[in-house]
């Protein structure tokens, strides 16, 4: 690869606020992105992640706060002077230009000589394996190819920060996964800093070094995918990332008691609370043999074989519970009565205000959140 890899830029957002009329789209966002890092802004639609990206790009002027790239404040700099690469959800290729001319566009703006321009454009197209379609018009390419052209166009001038706004949102699943792998490879090869926006938590987990989870204009939590999954800082994060079982109940004097009487020791403060347990942390026990720690029993409603795991749905007094268990373990029969157990440390307990969260069907609830946008 002849590409000179320039180290990625560092990005700092300080107290970023955007209000439209009275309503705040983004409310006090602080964020540090390290050089070469792949950071994802994750959240449901309307959570402020796209507005935040738009302020980094310079399309939206912040009501308050600052955007700093490599120590330089650029809050008031217009987008064409920021030198950023950007990829949009709808590709945004110039339909009147050929693929090569599209990729040459940023170089043309930078007054690069014709021969050099073409050479570098072809090099960038090679990077996304589209050098053979250089003279085609964008409309002659498939969606995935168009997005790769957009990526080449965003990278051709060696920007140090790449912004991506739901770039794979319009593509089908298989293609999306292929492009995700390609993007990871490019990120490793080029050492560029990437800020990526998505509402798809799976995509965020796959791609990111770190994820900032947005909710109602604020960042709920920033951390590595593992931290977010294993140590969610709030109920919102716990429910938004990954599959989870939720039990509503009360904490009093160091013990959480669910509506059906499941007890979990905790350090959480007293009051109405929700306990979250990941499906793979729930163990299946034979009720005849073991008295369970949690005291929860149920009847197996459905068992799905998923290769490495079984996905078991159990109806309990606390509502349906999902279990993911190793397929090497003996299989629970449909209709069988089983006992459920987990380590107290595998349950995360969060206080809830006013609105109790309905636990009737935790998996459709998490699904609905991660797919709606």
Residue carrying the six token digits 């998923």:
306
- d(CA 148, CA 144) in angstroms, rounded, equals 6
- Per the rule left: phi > 0, alpha: psi between -120 and 50, beta: everything else, 21 is left
The span of 12-20, 128-136, 223-231, 238-246 binding other proteins (CB under 8 A) equals 128-136
**Smallest separation (angstroms) from other proteins to the CB of 106:** 4
Task: Give Cα separations from 302 to 305, 310, 321, 332 (angstroms).
Answer: 10, 10, 11, 9
Do the Cβ atoms of 45 and 372 come closer than 8 Å? Answer: yes
Q: Which CB atom, from 82 or from 199, has the smaller least distance to other proteins?
A: 82
**Smallest separation (angstroms) from other proteins to the CB of 27:** 24
Q: Which CB atom, from 118 or from 292, has the smaller least distance to other proteins?
A: 118
Q: Total number of residues binding other proteins (CB under 8 A)?
A: 33
Do the Cβ atoms of 151 and 186 come closer than 8 Å? Answer: yes
Binding mask 75-114 for other proteins (x = CB under 8 A): ---xxx-xxxxx-x-x-x-xxx--------xx-xxx----
For residue 21, state whether it binds other proteins (rule: CB under 8 A): no
- d(CA 339, CA 316) in angstroms, rounded, equals 10
Beta carbons within 8 Å of 174's beta carbon, 6+ residues apart: none
**Smallest separation (angstroms) from other proteins to the CB of 150:** 8
**Smallest separation (angstroms) from other proteins to the CB of 152:** 12
Among 17, 24, 57, 257, binds other proteins (CB under 8 A): 57
The span of 150-158, 173-181, 248-256, 294-302 binding other proteins (CB under 8 A) equals 150-158
DSSP notation for 231-294: S-SSHHHHHHSS--EEEEEEEETTEEEETT--EEE--SPSEEEEEEE-GGGPEEE-TTT---SS
Do the Cβ atoms of 162 and 194 come closer than 8 Å? Answer: yes
Among 18, 49, 120, 133, binds other proteins (CB under 8 A): 133
According to CB under 8 A, which residues from 58 to 77 bind other proteins? Answer: 58-59
**Smallest separation (angstroms) from other proteins to the CB of 110:** 6
Chain residues binding other proteins by CB under 8 A are 57-59, 78-80, 82-86, 88, 90, 92, 94-96, 105-106, 108-110, 132-137, 140, 153-154, 157, 163
């Amino acid at each position: 690869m002849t590409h000179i890899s320039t180290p990625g830029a560092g990005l700092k957002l300080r107290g970023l606020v955007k209000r439209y009329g009275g309503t705040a789209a983004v409310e006090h966002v602080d964020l540090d992105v390290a050089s070469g890092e792949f950071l994802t802004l994750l959240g449901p639609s309307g959570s402020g992640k796209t507005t935040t990206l738009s302020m980094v790009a310079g399309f939206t002027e912040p009501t308050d706060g600052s955007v700093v790239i490599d120590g330089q404040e650029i809050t008031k700099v217009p987008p064409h002077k920021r030198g950023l690469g950007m990829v949009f959800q709808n590709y945004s290729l110039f339909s009147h230009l050929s693929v090569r001319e599209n990729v040459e566009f940023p170089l043309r703006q930078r007054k690069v000589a014709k021969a050099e321009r073409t050479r570098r454009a072809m090099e960038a197209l090679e990077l996304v394996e589209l050098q053979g379609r250089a003279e085609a018009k964008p409309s002659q390419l498939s969606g995935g190819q168009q997005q790769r052209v957009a990526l080449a166009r965003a990278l051709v001038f060696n920007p140090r920060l790449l912004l991506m706004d739901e770039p794979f949102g319009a593509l089908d699943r298989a293609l999306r996964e292929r492009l995700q792998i390609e993007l990871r490879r490019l990120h490793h090869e080029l050492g560029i800093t990437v800020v990526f926006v998505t509402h798809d938590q799976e995509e965020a987990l796959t791609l990111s070094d770190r994820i900032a989870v947005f909710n109602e204009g604020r960042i709920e939590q920033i951390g590595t995918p593992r931290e977010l999954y294993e140590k969610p800082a709030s109920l919102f994060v716990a429910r938004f990332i990954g599959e989870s079982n939720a039990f509503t109940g009360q904490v009093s004097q160091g013990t959480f008691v669910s509506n059906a009487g499941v007890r979990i020791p905790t350090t959480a403060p007293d009051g109405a609370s929700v306990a979250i347990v990941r499906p793979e942390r729930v163990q299946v026990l034979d009720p005849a043999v073991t008295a369970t720690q949690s005291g929860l029993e149920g009847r197996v409603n459905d068992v799905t074989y998923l290769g490495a795991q079984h996905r078991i749905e159990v109806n309990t007094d606390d509502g349906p519970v999902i279990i993911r268990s190793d397929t090497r373990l003996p299989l629970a029969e449909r209709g069988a009565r089983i006992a459920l157990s987990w380590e107290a440390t595998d349950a995360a307990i969060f206080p809830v205000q006013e609105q109790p969260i309905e636990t009737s069907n935790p998996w459709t609830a998490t699904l609905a959140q991660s797919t709606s946008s």
